[in-house]
Chains A and B, each alone.
Chain A
């Protein structure tokens, strides 16, 4: 089977693209269900429990509702940009997922520029929010759009600098090599703890999740950039946010948490329980399966963290957000980068 994939690059590429597009799309409704259940649990409520057993069919009901809802556009919207904006949020996050190795050497495509592709494409998501906020012809939406563009630009810098610290450890932008380097030398979260924390915080800001969801901020801006959106257009914004969350978690796992690998002691546990020996030296069907399991487990844990933080921390004030971004995150990230570079150079000699 592995040989067949190697021999038919075009066909296997199409299969990979379709599967890796479909899987995150299917995860999103489940993720929304879990978010609602977990938030109910954190707030000591029951959460959705009416549709199906323990409310498990709630996401289906939500999707049907969103599809059947009347598509309303308020007066005075800028029609073309109003329709374009939801797609602009959704597409970049989905495309950025294409280069994440979800299993051993398993990614839709692997350009020479590696992870630079993901951050470049991911940075376009901000246009959806800004254009959506502007086109809605609503001052709250406009404020949400404005806030999101300033916020994304500010935290992108910290995100890139934190990402650089992880890339410098492996000396490459190829994510598979970054993972192999982590197998050899230990996870980057131990070698680059500051970088990992900065990346995590910046990825919360980039995905517009609490405590950084100033673009939505329902207590001040009603719903921010998506106030005037209904039915599927609103669902696209929603989908975009969750896909961005999945992509960011997957990137974080790959860069700092060993990607599709697992430390040796956990591999022995797998060996004891399931009787399979896993070695990451060569790609076999078994290794591929287990690497996908490891990757999914780590990404799910991070997604839980995203949800956990959302329902635990209060929202930042806008000036606090900007101060944290420019006066704390970026200087710390720059210092971290300088120290990393110095240590790498000293260790080479």
Chain B
């Protein structure tokens, strides 16, 4: 019964996800695209929950659906494209190129998954709740699989180097953003100072 519920939930969320993904691309209004992208990210979180990766699921919701999409929405609303002001979607050539790229990525991923040696070790279709006890000889799931503790432990032991590397990447992006936001202000300040200096000089002349 539980297995059946999980499978049907996976099916439903998968279906909803695919429909939303299509709607994200096809909606003319970017606000609707953003709305469906939020729902799509939510369905991915459901898949994480079904795989008992609870913490990862919440992070998916918190970071992508809860934070990044808010910034997306902010930018879309700032531009506020409505009716006639919506930009052109591009011609038929663009669509064929996009379709070709999508097909290429899909076939690449499909072959990669289908040829994976791990596939045989799953007793059902990958992505379902049935995670095997061992994958390639190592235990696939511990007692607290997917919990915050297990996740944090893995992050700061096995994957410490990659984790720190990612944090440096994020840090450099922050520094870049701060630098870009400061540049026009500094230039403006220099201009104001120069203007003040010249007017000041003129005043002194007047006094003399």
Q: Does A56 contact B (CB under 8 A)?
A: no
Asked whether any CB of chain B lies closer than 8 Å to the CB of A81, the reply is yes
Q: Are B147 and A145 in touch, CB under 8 angstroms?
A: no
Judge if B168 is at the interface, Cβ distance under 8 Å. no
- Decide yes or no whether B208 CB sits under 8 A from chain A: no
Question: Contact between B77 and A145 (Cβ–Cβ < 8 Å)?
Answer: yes
CA distance A35 to B78 in the complex (A): 34
Q: How large is the interface on A (under 10, 10 to 19, 20 to 34, 35 or more residues)?
A: 20 to 34
Judged by a CB distance under 8 angstroms, whether B73 is at the interface is yes
> From residue A115, how far is it (CB to closest CB) to chain B in Å?
10
Is B71 at the interface (CB under 8 A from chain A)?
yes
Q: Mark interface residues in B53-75 (1 if CB within 8 Å of A CB, else 0).
A: 01100100110011100110110
Bound complex: CA A120 to CA B74 (Å): 19
Partner of A124, one of B55, B65, B74, B147: B65
Query: Is residue A142 within 8 Å, beta carbon to beta carbon, of the partner chain?
Result: yes
User: Chain B contacts of A331 at CB under 8 A?
Assistant: none
Is the beta-carbon distance between B148 and A127 smaller than 8 angstroms?
no
The answer to whether A127 and B38 have CB atoms under 8 Å apart is yes
Closest residue of chain B to A130 (Cβ to Cβ) is B73
Measured between C-beta atoms, what is the minimum distance from A199 to chain B in Å? 17
Which residues of chain A from 126 to 182 have a CB within 8 Å of any chain B CB?
126-127, 130-131, 133-134, 137, 142, 145-146, 149-150, 152-153, 156, 173
Asked if residues B77 and A134 are in contact (CB atoms below 8 Å), the reply is yes
Interface size class of B (residues with CB under 8 A): 20 to 34
Q: Judge whether A116 and B35 touch: CB under 8 Å.
A: no
Set B54, B66, B74, B146: member contacting A146, Cβ < 8 A: B74
Task: Please judge, given known A-B contacts A116-B55, A117-B58, A173-B148, whether A127 and B70 are in contact too, CB under 8 Å.
Answer: yes
Knowing A116-B58, A116-B62, the reply to whether A130 touches B77 (Cβ < 8 A) is yes
A113: contacting residue among B54, B67, B77, CB under 8 A: B54
Tell me how many residue pairs across A and B have CB atoms closer than 8 Å.
Answer: 68
Q: Decide: B148 and A153 in contact? CB cutoff 8 A.
A: no
Assess whether A112 is in contact with B148, with CB atoms less than 8 Å apart: yes
> Is B9 at the interface (CB under 8 A from chain A)?
no
Question: Are B148 and A116 in contact, with the CB atoms below 8 A?
Answer: yes
Q: Which of A117, A121, A126, A146 is B78 in contact with, Cβ under 8 Å?
A: A146
CB neighbours of A117 from chain B (8 A) = 58
A111 at the interface (CB under 8 A from B): yes
The answer to whether the Cβ of A201 comes within 8 Å of any Cβ in the partner chain is no
Cα A126 to Cα B62 in complex, Å, equals: 12
Min CB distance, B43 to chain A, in Å? 15
Q: Does A296 touch B at the CB level, under 8 Å?
A: no
Contact B77 A153 (CB under 8 A): no
Whether A119 sits at the interface, judged by CB under 8 Å, is yes
Question: Is B80 in contact with chain A by the CB < 8 A criterion?
Answer: yes
A300 within 8 A of B: no
Task: Kindly list the 4 A-B residue pairs having the minimum CB-CB distance in the complex, ordered from nearest.
Answer: A123-B66, A120-B62, A149-B74, A112-B147
- 29 A-B contact pairs sorted by A residue (CB < 8 Å): A81-B32, A111-B54, A112-B144, A112-B146, A113-B54, A113-B55, A113-B147, A113-B148, A116-B58, A119-B62, A120-B61, A121-B61, A123-B67, A124-B66, A126-B70, A127-B70, A131-B31, A131-B35, A131-B73, A134-B31, A134-B77, A134-B80, A142-B77, A145-B77, A146-B77, A149-B70, A149-B77, A150-B74, A153-B74
List the interface of chain B (C-beta within 8 A of A).
31-32, 35, 38, 54-55, 58, 61-62, 65-67, 70-71, 73-74, 77-78, 80, 82, 144, 146-148
Known: A81-B31, A127-B38, A149-B70. 11 other contacts (CB 8 A): A112-B55, A113-B54, A117-B58, A120-B58, A124-B66, A131-B35, A133-B77, A142-B77, A146-B78, A149-B73, A152-B70
